Amino acid sequence: MKIVSGDFFKQGFAVVKTPAGSSQMRMLTERFSSRYSPRFQNDPVRNRNIIKLFAEDIDVKRFFCGPDFDEIFKDYLSMAEPVQTGPVVTHYTANDLTGGNYGLPYHQDWPSMGTSAKGVIAWVSITDAKADAPGLTILPCSHLTGLWPGEQTDTGYVLSEQAFDNALDVEVDAGQILLMSPYLVHKTRMPTEDNWKLSLSCRFDDLSCQQWNRRNYVSAYRTTVDRSTYEK
**67-101 confidence digits (pLDDT tens):** 899 999 999 999 999 999 999 999 999 988 998 88
DSSP H helical segments within 118-218, as ranges?
210-214
Burial environment of residue 169 by CB neighbours within 10 A (0 to 12, 13 to 18, 19 or more): middle
Number of domains in the chain: 1
The tens digit of pLDDT for each residue in 4-19 reads 999 999 999 999 999 9
Separation of first and last alpha carbons in the chain: 47
The model's pLDDT over 128-150, given as tens digits with 9 standing for 90+, comes to 999 888 999 999 999 999 999 99
pLDDT at 230 over 90: no
- pTM value? 0.93
Q: Which domain holds residue 183?
A: 2-231
Q: Measuring CA to CA, which residue among 93, 192, 112 is closest to residue 153?
A: 112
What's the CATH number where 119 sits?
A: 2.60.120.620
